[in-house]
Chains A and B, each alone.
Chain A
Amino acid sequence: MGKIKDIHNQLLNKEISAVELIKEYLANLKVSENKLGTYLAITEEKAIADALAIDKKISNGESIGLLAGIPMGIKDNISTKGIITTCGSKILENYKPVYNATVVNKLYHEGGIILGKCNMDEFAMGSSSENSAYKLVRNPWDIDRVPGGSSGGSAATVGAEEVVFSLGSDTGGSIRQPAGFCGVAGMKPTYGRVSRYGLIAYASSLDQIGPIAKNVEDCAIVHDIISGYDKMDSTSANMPSTKSLDNINRDIKGLRIGVPKEYFGGDEKVLKTLKKALAKFEEMGAIVEETSLPHTEYALPAYYIIASAEASSNLARFDGVRYGARDFDQNDVTDMMSVTRDKFFGKEVKKRIMIGTYALSAGYYDAYYLKALKVRTLLKRDFDEAFKKYDVLITPVAPTLPFKIGENIKDSITMYLGDICTVTINLVGIPGIAIPCGFADGLPVGMQILGKPFSEELLFNVAHRFEQNNDFHLRKPEVK
């Protein structure tokens, strides 16, 4: 499997053509996708046309972008002009956007070639990709297990090397947890670092788009390209894009690593792997200390209130009037909306809409939504304190190894508890990267590295240095 820079050089040196490369990837993808369920749409024709254009540029001696000819997958909740974008939902079954998300324009501008739209939990609500309305996604390391979610398709497709990188979105762990489960690198940037314009909103104050790649360097390259101020997104931070590659090799001797004890209550196998990784960091000259984020246990309920409340409003627009599915048997517009929404939204989506609507309704706002926003402030303070002492914090990505398909789906609370290590990070808006830090029972174990707002460059540096000391990112699953 190629790295972005290697492929780039091979193209420039005419060792391969973009068309050859893309055709090879597409051939692999079609075989592998059948087993994994990673895609909701494959854009073969466009991919080959785009590759042809790249080859033409190269033969004309024109300059090409760093991502020219590089195959990529885009999560299906990111708007792609002319390419069906369903959000994993039946309510958008035939929806063809008329505009591109800002990140998609940025990737296209660098020559990235889209192979398809990655499968996901419906409207990004889920932690296992079992909530896709179309088909489930399987973990490339063990197809009886989940790939995590909601960006399960985006993580599994990179894990199985169907593409070089993908985009996911992360509202409560939806990039990091699947990246951890699939043994790849996934970055959830600081809130405001990457434009959300064109990301079909789940919870607006928590959502961020981020890159998923097989190795930290590629992840950093994509992050450098998609980050930066966007005037179309009012919550976009007015900062230039990151230049992570410049510092990715910096020595981490003396790096102060905090290890919040509240995050270490999960599966023994996960914890053991994490502890080994922390020992590695000490070996590399970092200072590792235990610390505390005392309000951690309140993060999950606060998260589910805020996310559901915002979702109940964000998903109100899917009403059968302007786009998407409609139930045509109703004579009255109110009935049409109600039946359409009941019929074409999945169970988990409806449940969160119900929770969110209830939490915002008259008489309950203060008890739920406002309360959760206040708890968010307390969580933020926890992190502000911790970052006074530490450059980064390290935790597991999830309390367990990738679980069996069907194992948690029946019990919401158990499923929600799986997000315990990731949701807080969205509530406080800081960046976090997940990378593999070892294997247990043949399954990858993910490590999460957290930093202050806008410290992505440091996080890529730390992750990259760690990666240099192992071969976890080089292992390839045998999909069977």
Chain B
Amino acid sequence: MNNKYEVVIGLEVHVELKTATKIFCGCKTTFGGDPNTHVCPICLGLPGVLPVVNEKVVEYGVRTGLAINAKVPNYSKFDRKNYYYPDLTKNFQTSQFDLPICENGYLDIEVDGVVKRIGITRAHMEEDAGKLVHSGKTISSSNSSNVDYNRVGVPLLEIVSEPDIRSSEEAKAYVEALKMILTYIDVSDCKMEEGSIRADANVSIRLIGAKEFGTRTETKNLNSLKALQKAIEYEVERQTEVIEDGGVIEQETRTWDDEQGITLSMRSKADAHDYRYFPEPDLPPIILTDEYIDNIRRLLPELPEARKKRLIEMDSLSVYDANLVIAEKFLADFYDEVRKSIDDPKLIVNYLMGDYYRELVAVGLDFSSSPVSTKDFSELLKLLQEKTISGKIAKEIIPLMVKDGKSPKVIVEEKGLVQISDTGAIEAIIAEVVAANPKAVDDYKNGKGNSIGFLVGQVMKASKGKANPGIVNELLKSVLDK
């Protein structure tokens, strides 16, 4: 990009909360399902129905607020946001306007080793809309559209950042950090592919050093990190071009076309944004006591930043390793559980992120879907520590553990994979190997120290990998040095 300009980005991230039921009715929130089967009079907005707030939504809202360092006010309320669109059943969205469930938070992100604080203006509770299925290839080329209201009323938390973000990388880092926190506090699955987290990006550019913001565009419904980054980059380029050509940026809503890799103007009418917010008369206000808020605070799990700090300070992990471990709550919990019985943090990380992770990738699993329990994983590391098995044997065992969820001990016994540490047995093999490789023995004796590696390999091979490599080394040396 042209380095005359600075990019200013604010993100509105919509997060689907993982409640069992919708925000205002008892319909289930399960993804998918045949069209219009998770629908009742309330979410269908039939004449005469009334909403009742799901208490879990409020709880999750507060939990999120506390996790993103926000203030949770004692008084909050719902409002109606009025606009017409066929994916809404009431032609208003029940949302929050001036008194949201939390305000004034922040998140620290890290890009290229630099930590930066991104302000969070607010987070508010609202209901999701339904899904439009178009008969043609695109919305505008279709003669008609079909509407499925299964998603109507699924609870959302809209998290609005300050315009503190300055690049598409920062935007990505911010969404990743947010996703991490939300999964840690267990309020959302954050599955972008199922649309359970999606972002709207407000993007503008201004001359470096300028005080005023430029006119911004809002690109809606970016449902992958890649789309988010690309859309921002496209907008920056487009806006730069428009300004460089002497044009002006119009404040408008745009949409990301993934196929073409461009953003497109969605609404032509400049004055279409008049949502006529007013307090939802069907819902009494929410008053949260300090006690209620403190209670949720007390029950908050250890958040990623704190966890990272602990791993670095207490377990002496490198920043790199610590980042790997905390990237996923499941993995971090797995690590902590294993750590209870294995006193070697580095060993745990090496195996988790090395052989084990590689095997998971190979068979298309991830940490949380793997059948390997923390108990079995610890057992594997113990066998290594006790030198019952070698690293090479561990490599053989891991795929079997992943395949059947079998305990490593059982595998070792069944396959007779126990490491040979009996010096007598090893000495016999060494004698054979020495006899069979006179050239290598001569090389060693003539000062070519590295030929011992070849001999060790031959011994390991002859023992089918079961010989304890430490002992092999030791004994071989003493035989050759004789």
**What residues make up the interface of A, taking CB atoms closer than 8 Å to B?**
77-79, 85, 87, 92, 95, 97-99, 101, 196-201, 203-205, 231-235, 309-310, 312-313, 316-319, 321-323, 331, 333-334, 337, 357, 360-362, 365, 369
Q: Is B84's CB under 8 angstroms from A357's CB?
A: no
20 example contacts (A-B, Cβ-Cβ < 8 A) are as follows: A79-B47, A79-B48, A98-B41, A196-B50, A197-B50, A198-B49, A204-B282, A205-B281, A234-B50, A234-B52, A235-B50, A235-B282, A317-B90, A322-B45, A322-B46, A331-B143, A334-B84, A337-B84, A360-B278, A365-B277
Q: Is A199's CB under 8 angstroms from B45's CB?
A: no
Q: Which residues of B contact A233 (CB under 8 A)?
A: 50, 52
Query: Which B44-96 residues have a C-beta within 8 angstroms of A?
Result: 44-53, 80, 82, 84, 86, 89-92
Nearest first, the 4 closest Cβ-Cβ pairs linking A and B are A316-B91, A360-B276, A204-B281, A205-B281
Q: Which residues of A contact B44 (CB under 8 A)?
A: 322
Q: Which residues of B contact A232 (CB under 8 A)?
A: 50, 52
- Bound CA–CA A199/B281 (angstroms): 14
Q: Closest residue to A195 on the B side, CB-wise?
A: B50
Q: Is A357's CB under 8 angstroms from B52's CB?
A: no
Query: Which B318-356 residues have a C-beta within 8 angstroms of A?
Result: none
Of residues A199, A310, A316, which shows the largest number of chain B Cβ atoms within 10 Å of its Cβ? A316
Q: Which residues of B contact A205 (CB under 8 A)?
A: 281
Q: Which residues of A contact B143 (CB under 8 A)?
A: 331
The residue that A85 contacts in the complex, of B47, B51, B276, B283, with Cβ under 8 A, is: B47
The reply to whether the CB of B284 lies closer than 8 angstroms to some CB of chain A is: yes
The reply to whether the CB of B411 lies closer than 8 angstroms to some CB of chain A is: no
Q: Closest residue to B87 on the A side, CB-wise?
A: A321
CB A282 to nearest CB in B, in angstroms, measures: 40
- Bound CA–CA A18/B417 (angstroms): 88
Q: Closest residue to B45 on the A side, CB-wise?
A: A317
Q: Is A234's CB under 8 angstroms from B282's CB?
A: yes
- Bound CA–CA A78/B48 (angstroms): 8
Query: Which B206-245 residues have a C-beta within 8 angstroms of A?
Result: none
The residue that A319 contacts in the complex, of B53, B91, B274, with Cβ under 8 A, is: B91
- Bound CA–CA A87/B46 (angstroms): 13
Q: Which residues of A contact B276 (CB under 8 A)?
A: 312-313, 357, 360-362, 365
Q: Is B282's CB under 8 angstroms from A97's CB?
A: no
Name the prevailing secondary structure of the B interface residues. Answer: loop
- Bound CA–CA A321/B49 (angstroms): 17
- Bound CA–CA A369/B276 (angstroms): 11
CB A17 to nearest CB in B, in angstroms, measures: 34
Q: Which residues of A contact B251 (CB under 8 A)?
A: none
Q: Is A333's CB under 8 angstroms from B91's CB?
A: no
Q: Closest residue to B91 on the A side, CB-wise?
A: A316
Q: Which residues of A contact B90 (CB under 8 A)?
A: 316-317
Q: Which residues of A contact B80 (CB under 8 A)?
A: 313
Instruction: Known A87-B47, A233-B50, A234-B283; judge A365-B278 contact (CB<8 A).
Output: yes
- Bound CA–CA A197/B47 (angstroms): 10
The reply to whether the CB of B147 lies closer than 8 angstroms to some CB of chain A is: yes
- Bound CA–CA A200/B278 (angstroms): 19
Instruction: Known A313-B80, A319-B84, A360-B278; judge A199-B48 contact (CB<8 A).
Output: yes
Q: Which residues of A contact B145 (CB under 8 A)?
A: 333
CB A31 to nearest CB in B, in angstroms, measures: 32
- Bound CA–CA A77/B48 (angstroms): 8
CB A460 to nearest CB in B, in angstroms, measures: 27
- Bound CA–CA A322/B89 (angstroms): 8
CB B36 to nearest CB in A, in angstroms, measures: 10
Of residues B274, B276, B277, which shows the largest number of chain A Cβ atoms within 10 Å of its Cβ? B276
Q: Closest residue to B274 on the A side, CB-wise?
A: A362
Q: Which residues of A contact B92 (CB under 8 A)?
A: 313, 316
- Bound CA–CA A309/B145 (angstroms): 31
Q: Is B278's CB under 8 angstroms from A231's CB?
A: no
Q: Closest residue to B81 on the A side, CB-wise?
A: A313
Q: Which residues of B contact A200 (CB under 8 A)?
A: 47-48
The residue that A235 contacts in the complex, of B45, B274, B278, B284, with Cβ under 8 A, is: B284
- Bound CA–CA A18/B89 (angstroms): 42
- Bound CA–CA A322/B53 (angstroms): 24
Q: Is A95's CB under 8 angstroms from B41's CB?
A: no
CB B227 to nearest CB in A, in angstroms, measures: 26
The residue that B86 contacts in the complex, of A77, A331, A333, with Cβ under 8 A, is: A333
CB A81 to nearest CB in B, in angstroms, measures: 10
Q: Closest residue to B143 on the A side, CB-wise?
A: A331
Q: Is A97's CB under 8 angstroms from B48's CB?
A: yes
- Bound CA–CA A455/B201 (angstroms): 54
- Bound CA–CA A92/B47 (angstroms): 10
CB A189 to nearest CB in B, in angstroms, measures: 17
The residue that A97 contacts in the complex, of B46, B50, B53, B147, with Cβ under 8 A, is: B46
- Other contacts beyond A200-B47, A235-B281, A362-B276: 15, CB < 8 A: A79-B48, A85-B47, A92-B47, A97-B47, A97-B48, A198-B49, A310-B278, A312-B276, A313-B92, A313-B276, A316-B92, A322-B46, A323-B47, A333-B145, A360-B276
Q: Which residues of B contact A87 (CB under 8 A)?
A: 47
Q: Which residues of B contact A101 (CB under 8 A)?
A: 48
CB B50 to nearest CB in A, in angstroms, measures: 5
Q: Is B82's CB under 8 angstroms from A360's CB?
A: yes
Q: Closest residue to B44 on the A side, CB-wise?
A: A322
Q: Which residues of B contact A331 (CB under 8 A)?
A: 143
Q: Closest residue to B82 on the A side, CB-wise?
A: A313
- Bound CA–CA A234/B23 (angstroms): 13
Q: Is A231's CB under 8 angstroms from B52's CB?
A: yes
Q: Is B274's CB under 8 angstroms from A198's CB?
A: no
CB B41 to nearest CB in A, in angstroms, measures: 5
The residue that A99 contacts in the complex, of B41, B51, B53, with Cβ under 8 A, is: B41
- Bound CA–CA A147/B278 (angstroms): 34
Q: Which residues of A contact B51 (CB under 8 A)?
A: 234
CB B387 to nearest CB in A, in angstroms, measures: 65
- Bound CA–CA A272/B52 (angstroms): 48
Instruction: Known A234-B53, A317-B89; judge A99-B82 contact (CB<8 A).
Output: no
Q: Which residues of B contact A204 (CB under 8 A)?
A: 281-282
Q: Is A197's CB under 8 angstroms from B278's CB?
A: no
- Bound CA–CA A196/B91 (angstroms): 20
Q: Which residues of A contact B86 (CB under 8 A)?
A: 319, 321, 333
- Bound CA–CA A101/B49 (angstroms): 9
Q: Is B284's CB under 8 angstroms from A197's CB?
A: no
- Bound CA–CA A204/B284 (angstroms): 12
- Bound CA–CA A115/B269 (angstroms): 50
- Bound CA–CA A313/B88 (angstroms): 13
Q: Which residues of A contact B274 (CB under 8 A)?
A: 361-362
- Scan B270-286; emit 1 where CB is below 8 A from any A CB, else 0: 00001011100111100
CB B153 to nearest CB in A, in angstroms, measures: 14
Q: Is A201's CB under 8 angstroms from B48's CB?
A: yes
Q: Which residues of A contact B277 (CB under 8 A)?
A: 360, 365
- Bound CA–CA A321/B84 (angstroms): 11
